[in-house]
Structure formats: C-alpha cells, structure tokens
Structure 1
Amino acid sequence: MDYIKLYFYNMAVILLIFLVDICTVNADSHVLQYYFTALKKSGQNPQWYSIVGIMDNLQILRYNSDSHKAEALYDWMKDPREPQTWEKNITHLAQEYEQQHCNSLQRIEELFNQSVEFHTYQIKFECVYFEDHSIGGHIEFGYNRKELLFFDRQKLLYYPAMDKAPILTEEWNRNEQSIRADKKFSEEHCVHLIDRYKKHVREELKTDVRPEVKVWGHRHSDGMGRLHCLVYGFHPRAVDVKWMRNGVDRIPSDEMTPILPHPDGTYRIRVSVEVVVSNNNFSCHVEHRSLEKTLSVDLEGFIDQSTSSKRRQKTALPLIASLLFITSLVLCVFKLRKHISTASR
C-alpha cells in the first residue's frame, strides 16, 4: 500500500504545479490560496486527500488523510489565547472538506466514466486583497488535470469548462447554502486572515537576494534592433527594470514578462525594447531593495555598422597620410645620400 501512497503523493505535487498560476498583483497586495486534492483508484474509494495553504508564495498550512490533522506551519497563525482550540477547529473543518470533496470525486467519476486507472480532483481557492482594499480572486475545479468548472463570485453561479460538466454545475447551482458560504469566505473570512497574517508573512520573506542581470540584442535587416534584459535570482519580488539610452533617456518597453518565481523562491523578469541601431550607448538599469544603488549593465558591441565603418575610415585617413609622408621622407634622404656619395667620387 505504501507504493500507492507514494504515487498519490507524487501525483498531488504534479497537480499542484499544473494548476497553480502565477499571480502578478502589486507588491503591496496579498494573495491567500488553498489547494484541495483528492486521489483515488478507479472503482475504489478515495485513498488520499490533502490541503495546502499558501500566502504570498509562503506555505502556511497543511493537512492530509494520513494524519487527519491540520498543521499550522507557523505559531503566529494560532490564536495565542487558545492555540489548541484553533487547531481543533481547523482540523474539524478540514475533515469536513475531505468528506465533501471525496464524495464529489465519486460523483464526478460516475458522470465521466473515464477509462483511466487513477482519478484526481482538485480545487484551487484564491482570494486577493489589493492595496486599495478591493477584493479579487477566483475558485477553480479540476478533474484529471483538466479544468472542470469555475465559480463566478459576482453572479453566484458555477459554469462548466468541459463536456458533461453542465450536469454537475446544474446540481451545484441548486445548493444555494454552499454557494453563499463560498462567497462569504472569499469576501470576509479570507480578508480577515490576510490582515492577520500579512505582517508575519512579510517577516518570513524579508531575506534580500541581489539580482543577476544578462543583456543581449540582435539587429533586423531594416536598421532596427531588439534589446533584451533578463533579471533573475532576486528576492523580494518588487523590482524596477528599464532600458536607457546614453544613461539618460528611458526607452519605453514594448514587452515585459510577469515577475515569475523560481523553485528556490527567487524571481525573474525579462524586459525587451525595439530601437534604431545607432552609435548610442544602451544599458539596462535595475532597482531592487537588495541594491545600495541602481545597477547599470551596458550592452557591448551594439552600434550601427555603417557608422562604425565611417569612424574607422576617418581614423585611417590621418594614419595613411602619415605613412605616405614618412615614406616620402625616407626616399628623399636615400636619394640625397646617393647624390652626395656620387659627387665625392
């Protein structure tokens, strides 16, 4: 049975990676996410279940069907007055979710009747508390690594995302009590937790890591060129990256990737611009909390070839003239010495 649990565990990790999307909210906003995963072998009862809680990319909570106990990964999550009561209440809630989601997986398997050995059901719950105090986020449901349906928090309705899902959404939309509970959690309880946790999460993530920078460019046939600046390996997430001309003029960027996380907890971003190939100096400027001053990285060897050729020609002309003068002078001296030698004889 251990090999089955190991398989389920690996599948859960794969599913988590598969369904997690990158949140690109402002650095002063906060994101709280919960991932619920149920796994089962075809024709059998669900055999593994887990819950993972994450805030601003920091894992804060876990629960699985082996222990049947919710675990706060940091003491500041618990109510200091009643820590045992907190754990008891959260564990009880997690066990209720486990029963509910395992029943849903059984029902989904009946509806879809897919000929696969293992079935997976995952829910991603996300709420975002923006710096202007507005609330965002969404709830997604996945089945066998595909999106099953999603919940519209404004309209209080579930919508299907794949075949046969309409039957399921119709059943769920009749459960008004569950719908309103999801809305209340996203708009009230979730915001309360973010307010309570954000200071502590910021402390846990306060380690500063300096960014690495790589710049490169390539020319087009029409005299234009494209410059790229890759900034990676930095922490925390907030960063400002821009291209500059001659260290003074900022070049507007026409392509900027989201700030994406690395597995080691650091981040990366790429900023690209379109420029006229010229004799200007181009450099990428990076501002980050880990830096005492702006980091400037020059792009070497990216100048107009025709301008460079003209410059070499201008430099070569005086050199050629000097060589001709010296050659003429040597010839004159040689002829003079020959004339003197002949006259003396």
Structure 2
Amino acid sequence: MVPVLLSLLFLLSPAVPQETQDEHYSLSFLYTGLSKPSVGFPSFQAIAYLNDQAFFRYDSNSRKAEPLEPWSQLEGMEDWEKESQLQKAREDIFMETLKDIMDYYKDGKGSHTFQGVFGCELWSNQSSGAFWSYAYDGQDFIKFNKEIPAWVPLDPAAVNVKQKWEAEAVYVQRAKAYLEEECPGMLQRYLQHGQKYLDQKDPPSVALSSHAAPGSTRTLKCLAYDFYPRGIRLHWSQDGVTQETKSGQVVLPSGNGTYQAWLVLEVPPQVKALHACHVEHITLDQPLVAVLWDKSQGAKAAEDVGTQPQ
C-alpha cells in the first residue's frame, strides 16, 4: 500500500515546463512504516530524494543507509555510517508513533500504513521553502507549520501525537531549525558534489501508434521517452484543433534516470482526419509536432518526426 504522500514528491517537479522558470532543487525524505509487513516489504523504509532522483535508501532489514546510482559514484558526499545511525533513531520514533496511533484507535491487530514526507527547497533566486507532513492509511494526519511554529493535527489521534511531540518546547524549535537551517545546508552541500546530475537535460524522442479492429474505435497513442527533467506536456490535435482525452497523460520513470510519458486519444471509426501529437519540454525551444495520418481504408502509423520541432 503506497498512499497519497508519494505523489507529493513528484509535485516538487513542475508539471508544465517553463523556459523562464528559476532552477529548483529539493532534498526530501519519504518514510513508510507498515504494521504488518509482508515478504519483501520491510516494516520501515526511508528513501531520500534530490529533486526527483532517489539519492539513498535505508530500511529496517539492512539497517544501512546506502547511496543509489549515480550518487554512489561520488566520494565524500555523506558519512554513511553516521547516516545509518541517524535513520535508525528516526525509525524508532516513527514506528513508536505508528503504535501510538493504533493504540488510540484500539486496533493493535490491524494492517496499517504510516507515512511521512519532509524536506526543503532552494531556487536560483535564493528563495527557499520547506515541508513536513504525515499521513495515516493514506489520509492527512499531522503537519508542521514552521511559522507558528507548531504541529497542526489533522486527525483525532494526532492531538495526542502533537502533545507528545511538543512536551518540550525545544523539540519544536529543533524541527523549525531543521527545516530552515540544517536541511538547506545539507542540500547546498550535496549540490557541491552532484549538481551535474540534477542539471542534466535530455530532450524527448516521440513515437506514435494507432490500432483498431475494422469498424471499431481507433486508439491513438503518443509516447515521449528518454527525457529529463520530468515536467512535460502532451496534447493531441485534429486538423489543428486541440482534442480532449478521456484520461490524462501518464508520466513514469524509465529506470535509466529518464522519464517516459504517453497520452491516448480514442477516435470514432468514421473520423478520417489528420491527427498530431504536440510535445512541450524545457529542453525544446518550441514544441515537437509528430503527425499521424490516414490512408483510404484506415489509420496507419506515421513516421516519427520527434526530432523535427515545428
């Protein structure tokens, strides 16, 4: 079970590319605790991200913070033994909180998930931001407001957690200092070692496909692949007019440090018109336009013109 908090990490990357956008960097941590872990899923795991790239991983089985590719190739980026000890201490507090919530709801035998996401952001204009929130079984549970500063409960059980976490004022000040000072400092240090990986920019390639049984609805698919960063926009047009799709575009990691995205359009069998897929990405001076055309007896796949912006 992977509730809504995971999506917050991807929101750190803009969905719509903008050429004038300031450079943006973020350091974030996603914690997941399971009351009843299954085979292959540890009871606790932490994944650190630099922007949208997984940086290191820790879990309750290995008890080790281990850098992931390509970050493992960089020397001196972190003291991994010290980081492992820190994550172990955080694991203890995190899982204790999960138990407290289950005790509050008197559901010690149930299967539940507790997640937390926290971190900080920096922009090239020197502005910064921070975030820290938790969810229980996919529902907002508690978040930290550094302006007050205080923990803000969003669930009945969170009131008790707030009282426990704020029993000593120093703990609130530590949380505020972490978001405003320690986390940005860590992020700036990491950028000194590996900013080149975060600044990589790979333009998308585009491929189109069309398939349908005779007399049935035709399905057109526009696939953009091998691009980075994640933010991209696809849309279909028919004879120059933008077409609405039943489902939105999908963006997923490719597994090699880049992303792939696709958008599907369903066309009634009687429609014989020129269709084109438009692709916008920060690496492109102007959108790519890939054209799919019809022959007399139906649709045939167009050539990929993804390398020729129009």
TM surpasses 0.5: yes
Counterpart in 1 of 2:135? 142
Is the CA contact 2:32–2:45 (under 8 Å) kept in the aligned structure 1? Answer: yes
Correspondence for 1:183 among 159, 162, 176: 176
The one-letter amino acid paired with 1:51 is A
Correspondence for 1:208 among 192, 202, 207: 202
Instruction: Provide closer, same or farther for how the CA distance between residues 56 and 111 of structure 1 changes in structure 2, counting only shifts above 3 A.
Output: same
Q: Which structure dedicates a bigger proportion of its chain to helix?
A: 1
Deviation at 1:197, TM superposition (A): 2.7
Instruction: Give the whole-Å Cα distance in 2 for the aligned partners of 1:135 and 1:78.
Output: 27
Instruction: Give the whole-Å Cα distance in 2 for the aligned partners of 1:102 and 1:141.
Output: 13
Instruction: Provide closer, same or farther for how the CA distance between residues 192 and 230 of structure 1 changes in structure 2, counting only shifts above 3 A.
Output: farther
Correspondence for 1:167 among 160, 172, 177: 160
Instruction: Provide closer, same or farther for how the CA distance between residues 267 and 186 of structure 1 changes in structure 2, counting only shifts above 3 A.
Output: farther
1:235 aligns with 2:227: yes
> TM-score when scaled to structure 1?
0.59
**Which has the larger displacement, 25-34 or 259-268?**
259-268
Correspondence for 1:61 among 56, 60, 64: 56
Deviation at 1:138, TM superposition (A): 1.2
Instruction: Give the whole-Å Cα distance in 1 for the aligned partners of 2:60 and 2:137.
Output: 20
In terms of Rg, which structure is larger? 1
Deviation at 1:234, TM superposition (A): 5.2
The one-letter amino acid paired with 1:93 is L
Instruction: Provide closer, same or farther for how the CA distance between residues 116 and 208 of structure 1 changes in structure 2, counting only shifts above 3 A.
Output: same
> TM-score when scaled to structure 2?
0.64
Instruction: Give the whole-Å Cα distance in 1 for the aligned partners of 2:145 and 2:286.
Output: 45
Deviation at 1:286, TM superposition (A): 4.6
The one-letter amino acid paired with 2:225 is G
Counterpart in 2 of 1:49? 44
Equivalences, count: 258
1:158 aligns with 2:151: yes
Deviation at 1:135, TM superposition (A): 1.4
Could you give the per-residue CA deviations for residues 280-316 of structure 1, whole angstroms, max 9, x where no partner exists? x998765546669753356989xxxxxxxxxxxxxxx
Instruction: Provide closer, same or farther for how the CA distance between residues 77 and 196 of structure 1 changes in structure 2, counting only shifts above 3 A.
Output: farther
Counterpart in 1 of 2:190? 197
Larger RCO of the pair (alpha carbons < 8 Å, separation 6+): 2
Q: Within 5 A, what are the aligned runs for 1:1-345?
A: 14-15=1-2, 19-21=6-8, 22-23=10-11, 24-25=13-14, 26=21, 28-41=23-36, 48-73=43-68, 74-75=71-72, 79=76, 86-114=79-107, 117-198=110-191, 200-203=194-197, 206=200, 208-212=202-206, 232-233=224-225, 235-237=227-229, 261-264=251-254, 265-266=258-259, 268=261, 286=279, 288=281, 295-297=288-290
Deviation at 1:53, TM superposition (A): 0.5
Instruction: Give the whole-Å Cα distance in 1 for the aligned partners of 2:163 and 2:122.
Output: 30
Unpaired runs of 5+ residues, structure 1, are 1-13, 215-228, 252-256, 271-280, 302-345
Deviation at 1:268, TM superposition (A): 4.3
